[in-house]
Structure 1
Amino acid sequence: MNAEPHVVIEDSPHRDSSGARRATADFLLHYCPWADGDAVLLVVSELVANALRHTAGWWRLHLTAGQDTLVVEMDDSSPLPPVPREPDFAGGGGFGWHMVLELAGRVEVRPLPYGKRVQATWMRPASAQSGC
């Protein structure tokens, strides 16, 4: 695949991650069936939830499938990087960022002029057939 397909959900008016999850599931089905859909959907859900909870509320999702990679990028308005917190088993959260770090193959946080970008990358397993 020469052209890298991508989908962008910009400045979502939704107050939850359902639109991002639907778009991601559709993207995976068409462009990256080898990816662990449950892991990718959970990462997308957590990144949206973090953007809504810890920023002014807008977020932008980018999904890109290369021949052997899947990249999920979440931009938001906060310049502050995510900080791992001690999980609170009494309902106070603290699990999401740990899950993102565990489920994605590689996670990077980059500053942007208007906030930050969290990038999660998965590599195609060697056992997967060629062609995304």
Structure 2
Amino acid sequence: MAHPSKEAREPSDDDGSLRTAEQTRDVARGFLYVAAPGGRGEVDAVLLVVSELFTNAQQHAGGVTGFRMEAGPGTVTVAVDDASTVPPRALSLDVTRPGGFGWHLVQDLSVEVRVDVHAAGKTVTAVVPCPTGVTPQD
């Protein structure tokens, strides 16, 4: 079994913030290991949404300022906060140009996608179908 390097596992700041999409996927894998132990393909969809939302915030929205996951009945909710108030926009798909597929993937893999703009930036939330073993706490 391969283990990530110490640098890949450690957050960049003392506050525990995540620095890379790889670190964020590792955190998500740990969450899904508990929340969706039998998810298989659905878990891959959640990891792809996590990666795309994190990468989009890093590349296009001034960086990630928050990351949360929550298991619900048959779903996993992924929320990424960033520093920009500009909502994401879908680019026209062009196979001759690299990139531009992430927002389409997030929307295709999710049953619900919300963008909430607030004073400090925005939160992009995606609800992804995934068989979960965890029920929400009331």
TM-score bracket, shorter-length normalisation:
0.7 to 0.9
- Which aligned runs of 4 or more in structure 1 are off by greater than 4 angstroms? none
Residues 1:29 and 2:33 are matched in the alignment:
yes
Contact 2:110 2:129 (C-alpha < 8 Å) held by counterparts: no
In structure 2, the CA distance between the partners of 1:73 and 1:34, relative to structure 1 (3 Å rule), is farther
One-letter identity of the residue aligned with 1:28: L
Match of 2:80 in 1: 74
Match of 2:6 in 1: none
Match of 2:95 in 1: 89
Contact 1:48 1:59 (C-alpha < 8 Å) held by counterparts: no
Ranges in structure 2 where 5+ consecutive residues have no aligned partner: 1-14
In structure 2, the CA distance between the partners of 1:70 and 1:91, relative to structure 1 (3 Å rule), is same
**Displacement of 1:43:** 0.6
Ranges in structure 1 where 5+ consecutive residues have no aligned partner: 1-8
**Displacement of 1:131:** 3.5
One-letter identity of the residue aligned with 1:18: E
* Identical positions, percent: 36
SS at the partner of 2:107?
helix
Q: What CA deviation, in whole Å up to 9, does each residue of 1:15-42 have, x standing for no partner?
A: x301110000110110123541111111
Match of 1:131 in 2: 133
One-letter identity of the residue aligned with 1:33: P
**Displacement of 1:111:** 1.1
Number of equivalent positions:
118
Normalized against structure 1, the TM-score is what? 0.78
Match of 2:48 in 1: 42
Distance in 1 of aligned mates of 2:38 and 2:108:
18
Match of 2:8 in 1: none
Greater Cα shift, 30-39 or 113-122: 30-39
**Displacement of 1:68:** 3.9
One-letter identity of the residue aligned with 1:131: G
Q: What CA deviation, in whole Å up to 9, does each residue of 1:78-116 have, x standing for no partner?
A: 111110001232343110100000011211111122011
